[in-house]
Amino acid sequence: MSCVRRLRKRTKSQELVYQEQCKIVAYENGKRIGLEGDPDLQFLLKGGDLLKVKSRSWRKTRFFRLNDDCKTMWQQTSKTFKSDSGFSLEDIDSVRYGRQTEGLRKYTDLSVEDRCFSIIFKSRRKNVDLIASSKEEAKRWVSGLEKVITGMQNLNRQQNTEHWIYNCMRKADKNADNKMSLKELKHFLRQINIEVDDSYAEMLFKKCDRSQSGTLEGSEIKHFYDLLTYRDEIDVIYAKYASTNGQMSSGDLLDFLQYEQREPVSSEYVQKLIEKYEVDEIAKQNKCMSKDGFLMYMNHEEGSIFNPVHKGIYQDMRQPLNHYFISSSHNTYLMEDQLKGPSSTEAYIKALMKSCRCVELDCWDGANGEPVIYHGHTLTSKVLFKDVIKAIKEYAFKTSQYPVILSLENHCSVEQQKIMAHHLTSILGSALLTQPLGYQMPTTFPGPEELKGRFLIKGKRLNKLDATFNNNTTEDEDSVSEEDEAAELKEAEQKPKEKSSNKIKLAKELSDMVIYCKSVHFSTFEHSRDNHNFYEMASFKESKAMNLAENSATAFIHHNMDKLSRIYPAGSRTDSSNYNPVPLWNAGCQIVALNFQTPCKEMELNQGRFLPNGKCGYMLKPEFQRDPASQFDPKNLSVGPWLQKKTLHVMIISAQQLPKINKDKQKSIVDPLVRVEIYGVPADNASKQTHHIENNGFNPTWNTDFQFTVHVPELALVRFVVEDYDAASHNDLVGLYTLPFTSMQNGYRHVPLLTKRGSLIPSAGLFVHIMALDG
């Protein structure tokens, strides 16, 4: 319940006491995120009035403030105050200063530019567009929110757990007396997603109530917290190696890392870990690691299943562009379905901020001579081409510096194509690639490193690329004035009885911008090899590509050693569903375009594929998909460099702080199970799951062993899925995590968990033991 609401029910003296309690709580939470005493944090906690904008006519003043948990925002929704009105800062994707959303640009004037800001959410929740009373106030809201969000994001798993439990305790403390009764303890246990019988709750309560006062307070609450967060599995591991006066010496820790975690590390590395994570100064001086320090280490990136070496750019980024898998989006402008949903610049921003490196623009003639982007022959809304290019320019390189491909599906008249060319050059400027790199006709692609910060246009071209060096203006009959094959096929699917035109005229200004990604028609692999240059690429509908990957995989792989291939979803996927990208990656296809707006298993696999290498949107393909001498076939695994057979042992040990699925029902507790899935070549695809644990989402334990055989680890993805078991219907998703097999660390590891939309669940995770052995 908010402070404002509670104050109405108190006397003046009670109000003063409660206000002091709120200050203390806010100070403690601010301290947890490293902002104790910060003036911007104090500004947010005090709150203030803002003008909320939904349309030209809907503008209403609303009071906003940061709750004292420093995790949630409270907002007034009407003349009456609602205690549950607001949103979590964890749900915020970004805070934008100025008129940086379609809503503010549409419904406000340029004169209020410096007083505007917007809150953008990770989910499909609508943006909150706001106007402050002054420029200074708007900037303070933005900087304050960004500080708190950054502070929360920088918390490690252990700090997140403490933060979360502390705030759950506060919610359970109904009368705000900083004490916990038995009734409040039971309420707290339900809040943290654990159901216990009354006798156990009473036993736990009596064990902690050393003063026998009938309530827990001070050190008793601390004792209760310690009992609650005690992890037997960590104790067992620590005790096995702590052979120096009950602590781990640097030698003990080295043994643990080399034998248990299979890390080839030195004594110097071990000492750095002790310096970094040991919380006890005496232990640190003695070059030892205490149990608390060990838990701290296990909860940081060194103890994660994801190899921290792969967190940044670690691959060779100077290979030809077609040697990489490229994170790619289909019909990027769409926020929802393919038939009647909105088109928006926001969709491009969200995709680019996820390091998507190939976006699609369906271009059509618009009113007043301005080309528009939308899904042709449907009821999807339209967005101006120039607004999309401005958004792409602004957000293309915020999360990755590597090149962005603009895939143009061109349906415009010559006049509006010229307008498109003008917008591309005037908005993108020198970042737009309009000439091949170097001073002579290239024979292969440049690498992502050479193309950093550049935009590449994919589309039709009137002539060969060498015309840029010899002024040849001869039109290429294979591609001149012909629509993108993808466009033809999609139109045929949507209007089967209407014969679509095979030809459009192409403006030279737009044609000349196509350098390394010239769209051509695909006939056969032999035809492409004999007639197409390296920069000439085809787009394949998913069914055609799947058929080639299934029946001509080796030929497809060799085709992709020389050229780029783009795959796109079938037109029948009007709900914006996705196809399985794995078989296409197995066939070496680079641009496997998916509907980024749809949370689904296929997008989770895509997120896992591009998790390493700095999440830059480019992953170097395995050598056997780049070597012309390779005869790799994903279906028929003959002996070759791809065959690096591994036996993968996975023990699912436990989970921590799983979120409640049904938050509306206080007594609803999850019954979690864990499934481990392998995706790769057909021989490697597998799935195994644990039994479910009843009524425990806080600290369920399984200790269940699985074994998998993985033949081609360089193409394999490992997916962990936690579900809430339901005997009567489909299980609900609790959290998941996907990563490449080759990015996994051996040993005892924590697995972070993500929501279905790919956002981190801060305090939740799995604890597992991983061992990948040869043969």
Give residues with Cβ within 8 angstroms of 648, minimum separation 6: 678, 707, 708, 709, 710, 718, 741, 770, 771, 772
- Cβ atoms of residues 600 and 575 within 8 Å: no
Bridge partners, 739 (sequence order)? 718
Residue-wise DSSP of 342-397: PB-HHHHHHHHHTT--EEEEEEE--GGG--EES-TTS----EEHHHHHHHHHHHTT
Q: Is 375 considered catalytic here?
A: yes
- How far CA 275 is from CA of 234, 238, 282, 302, in Å, comes to 20, 18, 12, 14
Amino acid at position 35, single letter? L
Nearest to 240 by CA among 262, 269, 267, 260: 260
DSSP 3-state of 319:
coil
358-364 vs 404-410, strand pairing mode: parallel
Nearest to 411 by CA among 375, 443, 384, 438: 375
Q: Which of 310, 375, 411, 558 is catalytic?
A: 375
Give residues with Cβ within 8 angstroms of 438, minimum separation 6: none
Nearest to 87 by CA among 46, 38, 128: 128
Terminal C-alpha separation, the chain: 58
Secondary element (H or E) of residue 539: strand 536-541
Give residues with Cβ within 8 angstroms of 641, minimum separation 6: 623, 624, 630
Cα angle 685, 729, 192 (rounded to 5 degrees) comes to 90
As a whole number of angstroms, the distance between CA 751 and CA 736 comes to 9
Q: Which residue has the tokens 């490193």?
A: 449
Residue-wise DSSP of 721-775: EEEE--SSSPPEEEEEEEEEGGGBPPEEEEEEEE-TTS-EEEEEEEEEEEEEEE-
Q: Other C-beta atoms within 10 Å of 223: how many?
A: 15
Bridge partners, 64 (sequence order)? 48, 75
- How far CA 703 is from CA of 651, 654, 706, in Å, comes to 6, 7, 10
Give residues with Cβ within 8 angstroms of 142, minimum separation 6: 95, 96, 97, 117
As a whole number of angstroms, the distance between CA 550 and CA 540 comes to 14
- Cβ atoms of residues 671 and 692 within 8 Å: yes
As a whole number of angstroms, the distance between CA 201 and CA 129 comes to 46
As a whole number of angstroms, the distance between CA 519 and CA 410 comes to 11
As a whole number of angstroms, the distance between CA 410 and CA 191 comes to 54
Q: Which of 330, 411, 558, 559 is catalytic?
A: 330
Q: Is 521 considered catalytic here?
A: no
Give residues with Cβ within 8 angstroms of 264, minimum separation 6: 258
Cα 227 from chain centre: 34
Cα 479 from chain centre: 38
As a whole number of angstroms, the distance between CA 42 and CA 614 comes to 35
Catalytic positions, please? Answer: 330, 375
